[in-house]
Amino acid sequence: MVRTINPATGEVLRDFEVRGGDWLEKSVAASTLAYALWSRQELEGRLRAVEKFEAVLKGEREALARLMTLEMGKPIKQSLSEVDKCLLSSKILRENYPIWLREREYAVATGHSVHCVPLGPILGIMPWNFPLWQVVRFAIPTLLGGNTILLKHAPNTWGSAEKIEEIFSAAFPSGVFVNLPIEVALVEKLIADPRVRGVSLTGSTRAGRSVGELCGLHLKKCVLELGGSDAYVVLEDADVELAAQVCAEARLVNGGQSCVAAKRFIVHQKIVGEFTEKMVARMGQKTMGDPMKMETDIGPLARLDLRDGLADQVNRSLARGARKRLGAETPSGPGFFYPPSVLAAVLPGQPAFDDELFGPVAAVIEASSDREAIQLANQSKYGLGGAIFSRDFERAKALAMGEMEAGMVFINDFVKSDALVPFGGIKDSGLGRELGREGSFEFINPKLIYVRSTVSSES
């Protein structure tokens, strides 16, 4: 049995039966059978199914948003925005997929041609922090390509996963999208199953290593979108007011519970004092409380163990020389809340520098030059996203292109996903891409066809 908990109150929401055995076998068989038909569906038919999905999702907007907030604690206004982003992104992917497909499928005069064909059932292992968005950005291009989906969602959002399956099932043929309420232990069995032809995981680096190892053992294609400790570099010529505004917003995205949220703020020593003061002011203005209220900016962390782990990282950083400028204390009372917090004097060797802080805690780090700032930014096992703030756009762009070790770098703005461009990282932040043209064809076989143009015939 899996029990979902309301992180704002600690109250039990629902108990779920954990499936496996014959039920799991039937589910994989259904996905495989559906693939045989779905993969032969013309692209126009797949596009119509995605458009129907959007219509069904729009009708379930409020109900699904409320369920996500109940299960993982994000403010309801952010849950509604998540649904809206999924609706817009699905439309963008649907409209652009045929264009990208034409660019990928081509013929040359030598008799060679390349055709994009699907792989088969694809296992999606999805996290709790964006219960719908993580699924949609993986599933829509994968389904447009002719694959089918097996979804293994995070246990604390199984209600959302069940609802998501209902929405997809209302738009797609039976078996094309199957939700799997199974234990983590069965993932290894699924990856080993020859009918499952690929895996997309969004999760921790530890989970990525495990899944990547299994995919390598069984020669399965995988996309791994893992953790991050994104560095935001603020140069001495930056607009400090803008930088503080954007950095505070970037740190508090989803209550700080995002792999691509800003986490380390590396600021030139000439402006670090001013920046820190403005950052404290910005972070301190946010309202923490009941996530069901529209005025709430910060809800609880998703689970008690996550809140306790974050508090431990902060306390160990303080013990090793970091200075508390805001928050950094676990509140009393019900729910798994942790306040917006700012730590100054953060250095390598402290958890606030070395590790991923998955919550609303900003780590301010001082640098004496551009070179030292980039060195500190790169002094991380992660390489997901990053940002550079400067009035000199060419200077910032040069540092972003040639120096900063990340899959994505934004100039004077915070890192965000967009359906039109690829999303992903390097180093311990994973491999492969989601979204954009690059991500849309991760689970596609670019099959080469050669036709010899001269064939003799006997009379």
Active-site residues, by number, are: 225, 259
Question: Please, are residues 346 and 276 in contact by the beta-carbon 8 Å criterion?
Answer: no
Q: How far apart are CA 284 and CA 322, in angstroms?
A: 19
Strand 361-367 to 12-16 pairing? unpaired
Scored b (16 or more CB within 10 A) or e, 91-109 reads ebbbebbeebbeeeeeeee
Where does 381-453 show beta strands of DSSP type E?
Answer: 382-383, 385-389, 408-411, 426-427, 430-431, 444-450
What does residue 187 show for φ and ψ, rounded to 5 degrees?
-60, -40
Question: Please, are residues 395 and 385 in contact by the beta-carbon 8 Å criterion?
Answer: no
Query: Residue with structure tokens 């003799």?
Result: 456
Question: CA 209, 214, 219 angle in degrees (round to 5)?
Answer: 120
Q: How far apart are CA 320 and CA 411, in angstroms?
A: 32
Question: CA 152, 158, 163 angle in degrees (round to 5)?
Answer: 100
Give the closest residue to 284 by CA, choosing from 228, 332, 342. Answer: 342
Residue 190 is inside which H or E element, if any? helix 187-192
114 forms bridges with which residues in the sheet? 106, 448
Give the end-to-end CA distance of the chain in Å, rounded to a whole number. 73
Strand 382-383 to 426-427 pairing? antiparallel
In eight-state DSSP terms, residue 332 is P
Strand 112-118 to 106-107 pairing? antiparallel
CB-based burial of residue 236 (10 Å sphere; 0-12 exposed, 13-18 middle, 19+ buried)? middle
